[in-house]
Structure formats: C-alpha cells, structure tokens
Structure 1
Amino acid sequence: MTEQTFQLIAIAVYLAAMLGIGYYAYRRTTSLDGYMLAERGLRPSVAALSANAADMSGWLLMGLPGAIYAAGLVEAWIAIGLTIGAWLNWKFVAPRLRAYTEIADNAITIPSFFEKRLKDHSHLLRIAAAAVILVFFTFYVSSGMVAAGKFFESSFGWSYMSGMLLVAGITLLYTLFGGFLGATLTDVAQGLLMFVALIAVPIVVVFQLGDLGTAASTITSVNPDALNLFAGLEDKGALLWGLAIFSTAAWGLGYFGQPHIIVRFMALRTPAEAKMGRRVSTSWMILTALGAIGTALIGIAYFSGSPARALEDPETVFLLLSQIFFHPFIGGLVLAAVLAAIMSTMSSQLVVCSSALVEDLYNIVGRKASQKAQLTLGRLGVLVIAIVAAVLALDSDSKILDLVSFAWAGFGAAFGPIVLLSLYWRRLTAAGALAGLLTGAVTVFVWGNIEALHGAMYEIVPGFLLNLLVAVVVSRMTRTHGDVDAEFTAMEREVAGERTEVPA
C-alpha cells in the first residue's frame, strides 16, 4: 500500500471511532438536560480533557509550533498566558459556577444562568447573551469547517469542498444525536490523541537526530534568539516590550467567558471535583504546550539546518516531522490528531449554539414544549447552525486565525467579567450585567476593527476592563432582587462543603 493509503486508513479508523462514540451517547440521551449538560454527571478527568480539547483546536498543533518556528521562543507567551488563564478558571470559576447554576433554578446554559442568578424577568439579558453566542459561534464553527477543507486539500490533494463536507458531516452526525455527552466523550478521545501526538513527535525526532546539545547549537546558529523567551527586550525597552507581552498573554483573560469551556464546569458531578479537574487540565496543558514548543524548536534544527530541507510553511512543521519520522499509519494518526483538534471545538460550539436557540430563545418567547419536543428542537438547532456555518465556509479564502482571535476576544470581554461578578459580587444587578455585556462586546468590535488600536493592544483587554467598570457602576445605581442574597449565600456554603437549602 502507498503512504497515502495508510494515512487514509488511519483517519478512517479515527472517524469511525468518533461516530461510534456519538451513537453510544445517543443511546444514553433522553432529555434536554441530558442533551445540553449530560445530566451533570461528568467525572473531573472527563470534564478537564473535554474542556481542553474543545479549547485548543488546531492552534496547538499548527499555529503555536508555526509561530515559534518562525520567531522563536518569545511566541510562547501566549501559551503561558493561556495556561495561567485556564488554571485560574478552574480554581475560581469552576466550583462556584457548578454550585450556583444548580441553586439558581438548575440553569443549564450561561444565558439562563445570568437571568436566573440576577432575577431578570424582562429576559433582555438572556436574549442579548444568546444573541452574542449565536453570532460569534456560527462564524467560529465556520472557521473550523474552512480549516478542515484546507487540511484535506493540502494533505491529500482532495478538493476543498470534499474535505470540508466530510468533516462537517461527521462532526454534525455525532453532535446531532449525541449532544453534549457525545461532544464530551469524543473530546476526551480527541484530547488524548492530541496529547500523545504532541509528546511523541519531539521525543522521537530528538532520538533520531542525536543529543539535545547538538540540536540546541543548530537552533541558535539559525536564529540566535530562538531560545530566548525575552527576545526584543533590549531593542524595545522594558515598557514597550512588557506591553507587547501582556497583550499576547492576555489571551488567558478569555477563558472566563468561553461558553463551550465553562459549560463543562456546570456538568461536573459536584463542586468539589473541580479541584481534580484543575490538576488534570493544567497537567495536560503544560505537557502539550511543551510538546508543541519542542516540536517547533526541533523543527528549526532539522529543516533550517539544511538548505535541502527548507520549510515553506512554518505551520506545517508538526505535520511534516510526523510524516518523515513515523510509519505512514502512525503518521496518519498524527494527521487525525489535527482533525481531532478541529472537530472537538466545532462539536462543542454546535451544542452551545443549539442550547442558545432552544433553551434561551425558543423557551422564553414561545410555549414551553415537552422534554421530547425540546430534545428534537435541540437537534434541529444543531442542524440549522451547521448548515449556516457550512454556507459561510464555502469561501475558502476566509481568514481563520483572525476570526478565531476576534471571537475569543468577543466572548472573553462580553461574558468574562459578568461571570466573575456573578460568582463573587452579590451586588451585581441585571441592569449592570446587561450594560457591561454590551459594552464589552461593542468595545471588542470597534477596537478590533481599528488597525492602530488592534496593533497596540489585543482588544480583549479594553473590552474586559470597560465591561467590568460599567457593570459595577450601573449595578451600584440599581437595586438587586430580594432572593439573590439567599441564593448567593447558599452557593458559598455549598462550595465550602456545607449543604444548605435555599429558602422558598
């Protein structure tokens, strides 16, 4: 068999496994709560791996290695910021959000949590939050489909459309029927596959090339600053360099507001299990980030060390090293890891979009449907979002990375401060949350589209800070609902390990 045949067989095995997991989840999903939140029954290790896989997408396997290959270790600051942000998210958001969403009338989505936590009977906050989710995630899912089409086009010579439709169709199938549980279990498998691939590639290549000392000498001879985490400090000065690094590391702020990530916290069995989830998540992120960084640096030694092996596209360094140093079938599994990264993010986002359509829009403007009808509507929501995203993905020239960066900032700035204030400040009001959410979203949109501002500072920073300021000021000018205080106290006691009943 040819090398490409082995690779296609490996990818076919992977895709079949994803469909099998989706069918298993379908057999276990019988209600909307199960479809959207897996009946709050996730083990901490499952929630952690699922959150990481849904988070990282193809950036970890292609974007980060490519950036470090091209510019050196200084590009690792984004990975450092993300790792710190994820740890803080698990530490300070996960246990409280798990407890509070159940206390607040069993909220199963972020928009419904905002409404129930703040007793917003006008539904304006919930509708605004659902609209933000639908707008950003529809384009986010579309970017994943574009990436899938380009992946098959560059790896196997398929047409862009064929690759895009294949991955979109399979992701849609296991998400459509398996819902949150299907997306979560496939995320776990995909997260493990990404982990093994990122650890194995740099280790195998190092053993093939010889000792680390020789590799380090070759790397620094090609780029003297390649191993310098503080490259540019002397040229720019401490202030400008510090601002640039802060802007890069500020990606970590986005974690507090990513619906497809923090919904995993809501699905934990108990708030106390967030501690184990944090350990698993942080370990996975550190090791995979080191694997991605190591792959890029070893790639500099291998490709740049010889003119005959020059690398045209830095983002392909991980893929090419796996094809050169592994058996074609194993190389195919590494290619499958890239698909895993794309598909895990898409599936999680489809479920969140579905919940926004059904739980946060349909159920508050129309007549309350039965559980069976809501489950059907949830699946139809996944289908509708996928179709719209696929139509948008027909343009193969879409700028994927710019769109992902913009959407990440949008969610982080619109939702992040409101999530934190909801969990730590009992004086937050519905009016304050709505004003802050809209301020954050608008700031990201305006700042991100002005080149001078965007180039100076990542738009999530001003959006996050202005949201926080406006939410606090408006909340102090308005009154909280009477029931909020009792529920807030009940949440704090449950997180502390004290079981308590909320007064009726």
Structure 2
Amino acid sequence: MTSTAIVTLAAVLVIVLGVSVITRPRHSSTVDFYLAGQRVGVATNSWAICGDYLSAASFLGVAAAVYVSGLDGAWYAVGFAAGFVPVLLLVAAPLRRYGEFSLADFLGRRLRSDSVRLHSVGVVQLVILCYLIPQSVGGGITWDLLVGHGILGLSPYSTGVLLSTAVIAVVVASGGMRGTTWNQAVQFLLLFGALLWLAVTVSADGFRYGDAVENLSQEPLANPEFTDGDWELTEETNSIHPDEPATFGEPGARYGWLGQVALVVTLGLGTAGLPHVMNRYFTAPTGRAARTTTVWVLGMIGIFYGLAVMMGTAAREIIPGAVEEHPWLEELTVDGVLRVPEHALPVLGRIYGDEAGLGLIAAAALIAAMSTVAGLLLASAATWGHDVYERHINPRATQRQAVWVGRASTLVAAGIAAGLAIALRPDAFTPAMPSLVATMVTWAFAIAGSALTPVVVLAIWWRRTTAAGALAGLISGSVIAIAMFLTASFMEPGALRELFAAPTLVAAPIAFALTILVSLRTTPPKEADSDWVIMHGTAADRHAERMAALTLRERRRRKDGPNAR
C-alpha cells in the first residue's frame, strides 16, 4: 500500500466522518432522524439523491458493462437515467404532498391497511438487501485493487467489504437523515469531480469517443475467460445474428432485441420503487420542491452517465496499448483486456495520474458505494423503526425509543449485507456478466419495478385502488420477479433467458392487472377522495410555502432584533 493510497483513504474517511459530526441532529425526534425535519432545499436534496442513486453499480458497473459489451453495456446507463422520468411525471410531487416517512408508510395510510404496510415492509427489505450486497462487493473490489492487503487475517476483498460497510453504518446510526443528506451531497460532488477529472484528462490526451467506437468496432469483441486452469480471450457471439461475431459498436454483444428492451424497462420502472431514493422526497418542504429536485437530478445524472459510458469506451481503447509502458497491467489483463471489468476506471486513473490518480478514482468508487449504503441503511431503519416498531410492536414508544430501534436496525442490516457480500466473492463469477456489480443491482430494480412501482403509481393516480388489490400486486410482482431471475440461472443462453434475467417486462404488467382486477371487486377506502385532493392539489404546497416563509421571517426577527422586517 503506497503512502498516496493511505492519504487518499484517510482523506475520504475524514471528510465523511467530519460532515457527519458537523451536521449531526441536535434533537432525537423521528422527523429529524428519518426526514431531516423536512427542510432540505432543492439543490442539497438533488445532490443527495444523486449521491444516493449513483452507486458502485453506476460508477464502476456502467463503465465496466460498456468495457465488456460496448453498446449493449450502455443500456445500463440508459435505464438508470431513464428511471427518473416516471418519477418526475408520476410520483415525486404527489408522494411528497401526502407526507409520510417511507413507501410502506405511504401505502399503509393511503389504503388504510396494516397488512399492506407490513407486506410493503417485506418487499422493501428485500429490495434493500439486493441493493446493499453489490455496494459492499464494490467496496471490497476497490480496496483489493487500491490497497491489496487485508487486516486481522482477512483477505483484501473481505477487509474492504467490512471496513466500508462498518464506517458508513456508524455514520448513519449517529447522523440520521440530516447527516446522511449532507454526506451524500458532498460525496456526489467528490464523485462527479473525480469522473470529470478523468474525462478531461483522457480527452486532453487525444481520446475522441466517436473515433474510439469506430476503431474498436473494426474487429470482433473478445473478453477473458478462465478455462482449463488458465485465462484466454474468447470471442463474443452476436446475440442478434448468432452466425456473426459481436463487435463493440453494434447491438448484440450481450443481449438480443428482447433482452435489451427487458433490461431498460426493468431499470426504468425500478427507480420509482427504490425505497432509499423515494424516501428522500419526503424530506423536501413541498411537492413543487420535490418535482424541481427531480429535474435537477435528471440533468446531473444524465451528464454523469454520459461520462461513464465515455470512460468505459476509453478504457477499452487505451489499456491494451498501455501494457508495454506500464508493466503492472500484465497482472490485471489477458492480452491487454482486463480480467475484472470493474477495474476499468481505477486503471485509467493510474495510467493518467500514477498512484495519485488511482487513489482519486478508487476513493471515488468507495464514496459511491458508501453513499448508497448510507441511503439504504437509513431506508431500512425507517421501515423497522417507524413502520414496524412504532406502528405495531410498541405504539406507545417514545421518539427516543423509535430512533434507537432505527439505529440498531442499521447495524444489523449492514452486518447481513457484509456477510453475504463476502460469501459472494466476485472471483466466483465470470467477468462477462457483463458486470457483477451492475447485474446484482438489476435484481433490486427488478423487484422494485415489478412489485412496488405498480402499486405506488396506482395508489397515487387511481382512486379505486384497494388494500386487497395492492396486496395482490405486491405479492404477485415480487414472487414472479424472484422466480424468473432464479430460473434464469438454470437456463441456456438465449432470448428467453435474457427476458427472465430482467423480469419486470413480464412481472410489472401482471402486478398492474391484478391490482386493478382485485380492486374492482373490493371496496376502496372511504377517504380516497380526500387523499386525492391532498396528493394532487396545490393548496398543501401553498400552505407549506407560507409556513416556510413565516418561519424564515421569525428567525430573521430573532436574529436582527425587533426592528427587523
């Protein structure tokens, strides 16, 4: 481990822990711990949502998927970015106007059903777990590459998993939503800055995206494969035209037409059901602020994913020619192609910035994993502490008791995720998935988009939605999604397997249909009309804005004296 790596990691931890200490809430109420007092501004919240959303799958996984699969890998960027379009159009403002603590709490109150709330908690926890594991895997991969040493007899990978997860679990447990919000905002700016530095540096050296895609497409696409005890390059088959080799700039290197559509739909619909992202909208002061925040997020993540695709392409073109000049690459590559695709950005960082560049990009990767883990742990805390403990186990719980249960649940969830991440070592999978981290995150999107998104959208936009209908949608969507991507692991490569691996294209319409059919045969809550007015009216926004203005005026009066206006 170089001194540069030590300094970089220390700087990251100091920044993260320092922000948490500075922004630690002074009160122990559930509104402060879970929702930061519902006073998070548009700019801060948009940066925090980006920090929450742009995980290791986005920073390492998208570039890795492009590196391995070319155009087919870019569909991850399209799907991840497109997910905020339905959030903007259908979910953000109504969800905030209704004003609860979590998605499970929203559905439970909207449909006046404890059963819906508890079933939603189960689905939410499953999504959180599926999302937590790849973040921990990303932390382990990054530590292994950056440091290369373990502690207390652990492997470098296991050490990275445990340290990154443990640090952020302590940060969340102590800082709550307020500390996590500012941490995620700062972490996004650092993450974006690192990626922007790499893009500017590579472009200044002469890299041009269009020319690179054209050059890479001149020969068949080949990736490392471990067979018969040794690594060798294996040409990829075109999934659309099986009698032709796959190329970097043409579709078919990983997915057929059906698989590409299924992947984008799974990622696009999944965002509106991600608990750690949707919970952030409850922190906005008004529904209008929630919608404006989403517009900001769309712009920023669009730029981010564009740069990630660009850098994945740059890595594919530049690394083979850099092996002779940088002998250390021989241990990481097979004939110039990386064995672990997630190393693409850190390796580029080292090529152009030596150890300091590697430290910067690897630290950014750790930031991406830790920032998303923070949001996931906080969402887990909200469901256990508020939706389960405060609502059902101990309705007479004090604010302090509810907060402490939430804090304890973050540590438990972190421990489970770290244990599973260590069990699912990345070297147990072939590199051509196309990215282990991105593929694992797809499972979380599949469950969220198949079960939670249909029910949440119908609960917001269809007054006739009932508790029985919501239960039918939640159960059918989650069961079908899980059954399909488990079945995919036993299927031969082909269009059907691609569809089963990204099951939302099938599961979501079934969940929508069953929710509607069952709702039509049951009675909706009598408060449905009044709920509709709350979610879709503007009176609540105007009232919230007036109250915010009065609060600000009162603070200024107290600060400046009785003559202040």
Q: What TM-score do the two structures reach when normalised by structure 1?
A: 0.89
What is the DSSP-based 3-state SS (H/G/I as helix, E as strand, rest coil) of the residue aligned with 1:326?
helix
Residue 130 of structure 1 and its aligned partner are, at CA, apart by 0.9
Partner of residue 22, structure 1: 20
Q: 1:134/1:288 Cα in 2 relative to 1: closer, same or farther (>3 Å)?
A: same
CA offset at residue 24 of structure 1? 2.3
* Residue 26 of structure 1, CA deviation: 2.2
Alpha-carbon contact 2:349-2:360 (below 8 Å) kept: no
Would you say 1:164 and 2:191 are equivalent positions? no
Is residue 119 from structure 1 mapped to residue 119 from structure 2 by the alignment?
no
**Whole-Å separation in 2 of the counterparts to 1:491 and 1:67:** 39
Residue 356 of structure 1 corresponds to which residue in structure 2? Answer: 383
2:108 counterpart letter in structure 1: E
Map Cα deviations across residues 39-72 of structure 1 (whole Å, 9 max, x no partner): 1111122222222222231122222112212222
In structure 2, the residue matched to 1:269 is: 285
* d(CA) in 1 for partners of 2:73, 2:303: 17
Higher relative CO (CA 8 A, sep ≥ 6), structure 1 or 2?
1
- Match in the other structure for 1:55: 53
8 Å CA contact retained: 2:164, 2:370 = yes
Q: Deviations over 1:355-401 (max 9, x none)?
A: 11111111233332111221222211212222333333342526754
Equivalent in 332, 337, 340 of residue 311 of structure 1? 337
Q: 1:124 to 1:296 in 2, by over 3 A?
A: same
Aligned twin of 1:85: 83
Encode CA deviations 1:309-328: one digit per residue, 9 max, x unaligned: 71323321211111111253
Between the aligned partners of 2:66 and 2:539, the Cα distance in structure 1 is: 40
1:182/1:454 CA distance change after superposition, 3 Å: farther
Paired with 2:56 and 2:122, the residues of 1 have a C-alpha distance of 26
With over 3 angstroms needed to count, the CA separation of the structure-2 counterparts of 1:473 and 1:150, relative to structure 1, is same
Alignment of 1:452-467 (within 5 A): 452=491, 453-457=496-500, 458-467=502-511
Gaps of 5+ in 1: none
Quick check: 443-452 or 139-148, which moved more?
139-148
Q: CA deviation at 1:306?
A: 6.4
- The partner residue of 2:184 within 187, 191, 196 is 187
Asked if the contact 2:465/2:515 (under 8 Å) is kept, the reply is yes
| 2:444 is the alignment partner of 1:446 | no
Distance 1:108 1:413 in 2: 22
| Letter of the structure 1 residue corresponding to residue 262 of structure 2 | S
Q: What does residue range 297-446 of structure 1 map to in structure 2 within 5 Å?
A: 297-305=313-321, 308=324, 310-313=336-339, 314-326=341-353, 328-367=355-394, 368-397=396-425, 401=437, 402-446=439-483
Matches within 5 A, 1:137-286: 137-159=128-150, 160-209=157-206, 215=212, 218-222=215-219, 228=249, 231-232=251-252, 241-250=256-265, 251-286=267-302
Contact 1:11 1:333 in 2 (8 A): no
Q: Residue 482 of structure 1 is aligned with which of 526, 533, 536?
A: 526
Could you tell me the percent identity over the aligned residues? 25
Match of 1:94 in 2: 92
Give yes or no for contact 1:206–1:298 (8 Å, CA) kept in 2: no
TM-score by length of structure 2 reads 0.80
Secondary structure at 2:73's aligned position in 1?
helix
Distance (whole Å) between structure 1 residues aligned to residue 534 and residue 361 of structure 2: 47
Equivalent pairs, count: 485
Mark the runs of 5 or more structure 2 residues left unpaired by the alignment.
151-156, 222-245, 330-335, 430-435, 545-565
Contact 1:195 1:284 in 2 (8 A): no
**Contact 1:25 / 1:179 at 8 angstroms: preserved in 2?**
no
- Partner deviation per Cα, 1:450-477 (whole Å, 9 max, x = no partner): 1245423411222211111110101110
Conservation of the 8 A alpha-carbon contact between 2:316 and 2:337: no
Q: Which residue of the partner structure matches residue 109 of structure 1?
A: 102
In terms of mean alpha carbon deviation, does 212-221 or 3-12 score higher? 212-221
Q: Against the structure 1 CA distance between its residues 206 and 173, is the aligned structure 2 distance closer, same or farther, given a 3 Å change threshold? A: same
Shift of 1:155: 2.2
Question: Which protein has the bigger helix share?
Answer: 1
> Which residue number in structure 2 is paired with residue 128 of structure 1?
119
Letter aligned with residue 392 of structure 1? L
Superposed, which structure 2 residues align to 1:21-40 within 5 Å?
21-40=19-38
Q: Secondary structure at the match of 1:62?
A: helix
CA RMSD of aligned residues (A): 2.6
